[in-house]
Homo-oligomer: A and B are copies of this chain.
Amino acid sequence: MTITREDCLALDARDPLAGLRGRFALPDNVIYLDGNSLGALPRHVPSRMRTVVEDEWGAGLIRSWNDAGWIEAAHRTAEKIARLIGAGVDEVIVADSTSVNLFKLLVAAMRLRAGRDLLLTSIGNFPTDAYIAQGAADLLGAELRFVEPDMSSVVAALGSRVAVLAMTHVDYRTGRILSMHEITAAAHAAGALMLWDLSHSAGALEVDLDDASVDLAVGCGYKYLNGGPGAPAYAYVARRLIDQVRQPLSGWFGHAEPFAFAADYVSAPGIDRMQCGTPPMLSLAALESALEVFDDVSVAALRAKSMALSDLFIRLADETLEGLGVTVESPRDASLRGSQVSLKHVDGYAIVQALIANGVIGDFRAPDILRFGLTPLYVRFVDVFDAVHAIGSVIRRGEWNQPRFLWRKTVT
């Protein structure tokens, strides 16, 4: 029996998280399935931004570093994130970008494992992660190796030369979840440190860094955390390592006494040492404010809805996209799948553009992936129904096969 739109409306009607969508200012006539690239705007954030701009910056001026608590914003924001990733509040700090934090932690890891000269990461890791690993390895005279992200390949590649294994928890193309516990244990068994990038998992599925004994982690503020375009990122260092970590971007915000204006760098005790320069307060304030959406929300409940959404997406794709040259690239086992469904089509780029023109916003990832993020905070079951049917319509009617959709992309 095929799934009807009414079935999906019924699913929404009994969704215990349905009310969360009201916390977001989503535009009309859009089905937004790209929250894994840029999260939607929480409805309360504009008011907070007016306050930070007009009252705190405008009227408070320099006094707001103390009086409005800007100086502690990176900590307060990190506390909200810590809960989502199974970390202690003393293990997480918000600073810089994911790329910059990854660089800090890779260099710190190589120093913690001095004598080991190999940095291991996965084939198909998020591109900027691979680029930063190349930059760090190059600078340190270390060797960078890429390994397929399956257990047997990883275990075979680990060895006494590997200082750190750096992987991304959820594959950005396929949405496949890697086993954080098993891979971390394998790295540790080989004496290596384990670093995870949580950019495509935190906020949409359970992450438990402490429980998995993860050493280091980074993650993005603007995808499932909804912190706004280019929101600051976060870094995690396990409590047992924090006081040994030496990161190279030794700016004043990571100094033990930033306002002493001392001549020599002395790293702050604890996780503060991962900070570098003055944080971009307006962007940081948006992230801090946006995270309030999660305050009363259980990640387990989000995960349950996310799996139901993506199960529905795949079932609808199977039912309605047959014979259209589309294949499902995400794992069919929901327990192995992040909060997205990826399809594959040789004309994926043009199809995604045509879908956007029809108000269904997913994204394209080269060479042929159509990616649909299913943020459980605000995506409805009926959105999934409408989106999959729109995909079918666009392909069937050949809508994508028009010059304006076949232009070479600049940005997708």
Q: Give residues in A with beta carbon < 8 Å to B.
A: 25, 27, 30, 32, 34, 37-38, 40-41, 45-46, 49-50, 53-54, 56-59, 61-66, 70-71, 96-100, 103, 107, 123, 127-128, 130-132, 134-136, 138-140, 146, 222, 228-233, 248-253, 255, 258-265, 276-284, 286, 356, 361, 363, 365-366, 409-412
* Residue of chain B at shortest CB distance from A124: B263
Contacts of A132 in B (CB 8 A): 249-251
Complex Cα distance, B279 from A155, in Å, reads 36
Least Cβ–Cβ distance between A286 and chain B, in angstroms: 5
Q: Which of B59, B261, B282, B361 contacts A282 (CB 8 A)?
A: B282
A229 touches B282 (CB 8 A): yes
> Quick check: A259 and B45 within 8 Å, CB to CB?
no
A51 CB → nearest B CB, Å: 11
Copies of this protein in the complex? 2
A64-B229, A261-B366 known; A100 vs B96 contact (CB < 8 Å): yes
Q: Could you say which residues of chain B place their CB within 8 Å of the CB of A260? A: 366
Which residue from B34, B128, B228 sits with its C-beta under 8 Å from A62? B34
Is the CB–CB distance between A228 and B97 below 8 Å? no
Contact between B100 and A100, CB atoms less than 8 A apart = yes
Least CB distance from A24 to B in Å reads 9
Inter-subunit contact B281/A63 (CB<8 Å): no
Q: Is A49 within 8 A of B53, CB to CB?
A: yes
In the bound complex, how far is the Cα of B365 from the Cα of A259, in angstroms?
8
A234 to B250, CA, bound (A): 18
How far does the alpha carbon of A99 sit from the alpha carbon of B366 in the complex, in Å? 34
9 additional A-B pairs beyond A135-B251, A230-B280, beta carbons within 8 Å, are A40-B58, A63-B356, A100-B277, A123-B263, A127-B258, A128-B255, A132-B251, A135-B265, A261-B366
Question: Are B40 and A45 neighbours in the complex by a CB distance under 8 Å?
Answer: no
Q: Given contacts A233-B277, A280-B280, A281-B229, are A410 and B249 in contact (CB under 8 A)?
A: no
Q: For A258, what are the chain B residues with a Cβ–Cβ distance below 8 Å?
A: 127
Cβ of A259: which chain B residues have Cβ within 8 Å of it?
Answer: 366, 409-412
Supposing A276-B97, A281-B230 touch, asked if A61 and B32 sit within 8 A by C-beta, the answer is yes
Q: Least Cβ distance of A95 to chain B in Å?
A: 9
Cα–Cα, bound, A223→B350 (Å): 45
**Smallest CB separation, A47 vs chain B (Å):** 10
